[in-house]
Amino acid sequence: MTRIISPSILTADFGRLSDEIALVNRSEAQWVHCDVMDGVFVPNISFGFPVVQAVRALTDKKLDVHLMIVDPDRYIARFAEAGAGMLTVQAEACVHLHRTLQSIHEAGMQAGVALNPHTPLSSIEEVLDDIDMVLIMTVNPGFGGQQFIPQSYSKIRRLRQMIDARGLSTLIQVDGGVSTANADELYRAGVNVLVAGSAIFSSADPQQTIHQLLTAQAGE
């Protein structure tokens, strides 16, 4: 099964952003995860277009942009211009999710949908065929460095069954509290894409941590 590591730059040192991205460039991570927060959908404000554009100029890796903002439809074209490859919206922020997915595809990007811990899988059941990636939030969004919510495993397993039963290639991503301690169990539950912020950027050897996240095996 596909395994992808997407380091979240939320916990990177923004004063040394080019060094932090250079570190990701030298690593086995395939994507770069950019968390955009508006201070309304979540109780935090992170960064917007200038930072996403700056990251785009510093790497050839796919930009995996996670929007934690209200009314994301207003900014789809701007994120395409800024260089996003995967654009993930929060299901809770979309009144017309099907239309939003169409707009993301029309703008030339892949479409992801994130579900907060309390949001049931049934909220995406009718549009699953139109989604390239489902992001199961394993913390309440807004901050790096939070504790992984263990009930997420059952949700991931049920989503894996739903995707496989329909013969889809939709990726499953997890975000929040991911580390080398739970990577293997997450893969076994059916996850494809691990987002990790503090586990990578607070590590003494981020490249090695990325390698461990990618190659995690039972018993490690």
Q: Interface with ligand DX5 by CB under 6 A: which residues?
A: 8, 10-11, 33, 35, 66, 139, 141-146, 175-178, 195-199
For position 175 contacting Zn ion by CB under 5 A, the verdict is yes
Residues 6 or more apart from 48 whose CB is under 8 A from it? 36
Q: How many residues bind Zn ion (CB under 5 A)?
A: 3
- φ, ψ of residue 147 to 5 degrees: the values are -80, 130
> How far apart are CB 5 and ligand DX5 at their closest, in Å?
11
Q: Indicate which residues carry an active-site annotation.
A: 35, 175
Q: Which stretch binds Zn ion (CB under 5 A): 58-66, 77-85, 92-100, 186-194?
A: 58-66
* Exposed / middle / buried, residue 119 (Cβ in 10 Å: 0-12, 13-18, 19+): middle
> How far apart are CB 121 and ligand DX5 at their closest, in Å?
19
Closest CA to 107 of 77, 62, 71, 67: 77
Which tokens hold the place of 3?
A: 């395994």
Smaller CB separation from Zn ion, 65 or 216: 65
Binder among 6, 9, 35, 69 for Zn ion (CB under 5 A)? 35
Residues 6 or more apart from 23 whose CB is under 8 A from it? 206, 207
> How far apart are CB 100 and Zn ion at their closest, in Å?
18
Residue closest to ligand DX5 when measured from CB atoms: 197
- What sign results for the dihedral spanned by CA atoms 220, 26, 197, 162? negative
Residues making contact with Zn ion (CB under 5 A): 35, 66, 175
